[in-house]
Structure 1
Amino acid sequence: MNLWIQGREQALKLCTLSTGDSVYRYYKSIVIPFEQPRKVSSTAVVNGGYREDLTAVFNNDCNPGAGMACIMRAPIYQEHMKLITEEIGLDPAKTAGMGTAASMENVAIHTQTYENLTVTAIVTGGVEVNGGRVGDPADYFQPIDKSSIEKPGTINIILVIDADLPPGILNRAMVTCTEAKTAALQELMAGSNYSTGLATGSGTDQTIVIANPASPLYFESAGKHSKLGELIGRAVLPAVKEALHKQTGLSPDQQHSMLRRFKRYGIKEETLWQAYAANTDKAVIKPKFMDALYQSDRDNFLVTYAALYVHLLDEMQWELLSGKEVQQAGNELLAAAAAKYGVKAPEIIGTGLEDYLQAWKVLLLGITGEKCTMLKK
């Protein structure tokens, strides 16, 4: 199918869904025009909620270019989305859309089947800037007009279920879909940008769930005990991981990093350099220190020790281990790591979070200092 939108871009057909609907990419959007009536439940600001009269859905990249902020095309978000919908070539009154800063080139599409049931997840996303944990401290509380501008979504999911579902179960499918997204972030150990916790999503995630009322299959369960729920998880979880990898490189390999594991606890390159420069008489220039630090950052043993140490801090934060228990285990890890790298083992003196972090900083600066000495030889 060749579609031209105002002469700007030819539509690329990505796939045909089991429902018979096609998925296209054009005009910086992922678009699904419906061949037949569909049941849709979505978080879309325009035409969101539960609908049976929609003729299409889409996911749009509002980023004008690399390193540039998203730009609203109108004073209010609803008008902005209407303009985008019209430019895509769809009916604004019968279309639900999502906005994002993620590139549509980085879309991930995963399909799972069981007998004659098919579930497809179509995902874009990133959490490097906007990732957070539910319940994180927030400073935004401003009741505003219903026509206010909304922020674009970050992890956006279109979930297509080739089965008929009642409205409540369609919403339950969205819950299962959200759990799968959070499980993907958990498996990647993606940190919140607003607390010491692990991210459960971004602050602006959006989801569209589509069911097929023409299907002979009819389900009244979409939770984890149902096969439908299983397929949702098995489609969404890897799709979220793939989309995050494509968008920002977030992956197991990227997370194999001591610094990334400690980022949410505030241990960063610049603060480590400042601490080293303030407490050593050795003439080490910053580039050489950073070189040694980055060598430590990817060291297999140190990444392993860091992962265990950070998890101890998490267990204490969640009140699953006491401060004394974490202090004892933490000191054992510090001693083992220090022996491995031939440096003096620091000791955790108190039972406060800062005490544990300070001890790790001392260990890391000792290891990095030794590497700096080796680099000078």
Structure 2
Amino acid sequence: MRLYTLATGDQVYRYYKSIVIPFEGPRKVASTAIVNGGYREDLTAVFNNDVNPGAGMACTMRAPTYQEHMRIITEEIGLDPLTTAGMGTAASMENAAIKTECYENLTVTAIVTGGVEVNGGRVGDPADYFQPLAKSMVEKPGTINIILVIDADLPPGMLNRAMVTCTEAKTAALQELMAGSNYSTGLATGSGTDQTIVIANPVSPLYLESAGKHSKLGELIGRTVLPAVKEALYKQTGLSPSLQHSMLARFKRYGIKEESLWQAYAAANEKPVMKAKFLAALYQLDGDNQLVTYAALYVHLLDQLSWQLLSGEEVCQAANELLAALAGKLDVTAPVVEGNDTCACLEAWTALVVAATGLDVAH
């Protein structure tokens, strides 16, 4: 089906689990695509393909090499493998988000698919990939995939600058959602396999030589990519402000989860209630307005400590003040942070949540 008509005159189609853009004329393209990637002026099309065969099934290649796999996909969707750049993802094309912004005769469109619940991470997180994987497997195909279309002519270097601005916008979207890394206590800046395609129109009469944040083009890139990333993540996984209005969501990256709280509760009670009853009370408490508000403040203190913007003594004092205030609102005894490090702060928060949950269980 035809999804959208771009300002360049190109049509955006969705079929065969792919979003496809055949070019109506010459285009300048900069991309992270493994096949036909980099800077190209000879491409005739680009696409984004959902390689996920189905729920619970591994993403496997259909040929001995990735290049042959992409050739098969490209030919199936009716494109020339020699002049097409494509991206793979486990996200559904039906969950794509399309955003367009205009300023005078400049139009920018972002087409985004995404998800960060599995391999969202923060740049600099510990990594274990170095040697090539078995060629029969596709390891974590791209999760936040972006096609950015600019209806203006840009020099080659500015397409790369546009990609930088696009990446900043993606990271800003994740920050605004407080999406956590799955590999550290940090906030996610993207996934480990994000891919991007930036397209410019060399036949446009509009010629621009700036794509940074001080330029209108940079502004429009941010105003399209940021909301498109948010919408795509919501469509794919439900990630949204309402989903993040949760104490457990805020503390997940610091290791405070249902199981850790249950273990702490069971260790503190000789005859704990059944686990199901405890978890029911925990989930009931999890979205409490006061608890979520204080959780957001408390987690930010831990971030400030990690970034060395506050000292351990400063964080400890502020943490104890927050614990005392929240304990009064929840009608439990306030635990005390006994140390100036992250572990001590987490132990105290765990004790408070366990006490509040236990109180609800008793009622």
* CA 1:71–1:180: 2 relative to 1, 3 Å: same
1:128 aligns to what SS in structure 2?
A: coil
1:217 aligns to what SS in structure 2?
A: coil
Contact 1:78/1:147 (<8 A) preserved: no
Q: Deviations over 1:186-226 (max 9, x none)?
A: 00000000000000000000000000001110000000000
Give the partner amino acid of 2:193: T
Contact 2:265/2:272 (<8 A) preserved: no
Contact 1:341/1:367 (<8 A) preserved: yes
- In structure 2, C-alpha distance between the alignment counterparts of 1:67 and 1:356, rounded to whole Å: 37
TM-score (norm 1): 0.94
Structure-2 residue corresponding to 1:163: 152
Residue 329 of structure 1, CA deviation: 0.3
TM-score (norm 2): 0.98
- In structure 1, C-alpha distance between the alignment counterparts of 2:165 and 2:292, rounded to whole Å: 32
* CA 1:289–1:144: 2 relative to 1, 3 Å: closer
Contact 1:76/1:149 (<8 A) preserved: no
Structure-2 residue corresponding to 1:4: none
Asked if 1:230 is matched to 2:222, the reply is: no
Give the partner amino acid of 1:294: Y
Structure-2 residue corresponding to 1:30: 19
Match of 1:89 among 43, 64, 78: 78
Q: Percent identity?
A: 79
Structure-1 residue corresponding to 2:34: 45
- In structure 1, C-alpha distance between the alignment counterparts of 2:327 and 2:182, rounded to whole Å: 30
Unaligned runs of at least 5 residues, structure 1: 1-11
Contact 2:301/2:315 (<8 A) preserved: yes
Give the partner amino acid of 2:43: L
2:68 aligns to what SS in structure 1?
A: helix
| Alignment coverage as a number of residue pairs | 363
Asked if 1:59 is matched to 2:48, the reply is: yes
Give the partner amino acid of 2:273: V
Asked if 1:138 is matched to 2:127, the reply is: yes
Structure-2 residue corresponding to 1:308: 297
Unaligned runs of at least 5 residues, structure 2: none
Structure-1 residue corresponding to 2:240: 251
* CA 1:346–1:104: 2 relative to 1, 3 Å: same
Q: Deviations over 1:11-45 (max 9, x none)?
A: x1001001000000000000000000100000000
Asked if 1:317 is matched to 2:310, the reply is: no
Alignment of 1:111-260 (within 5 A): 111-142=100-131, 151-260=140-249
Q: CA RMSD in A?
A: 1.4
Match of 1:72 among 51, 54, 61: 61
Q: Deviations over 1:78-137 (max 9, x none)?
A: 110010000000000000000000000100000000011000000000000010000001
Contact 1:185/1:199 (<8 A) preserved: yes
Structure-2 residue corresponding to 1:333: 322
- In structure 2, C-alpha distance between the alignment counterparts of 1:73 and 1:347, rounded to whole Å: 57
Runs of 4+ in 1 over 4 A off after TM superposition: 143-151
- In structure 1, C-alpha distance between the alignment counterparts of 2:136 and 2:58, rounded to whole Å: 21
Residue 71 of structure 1, CA deviation: 1.9
Structure-2 residue corresponding to 1:268: 257
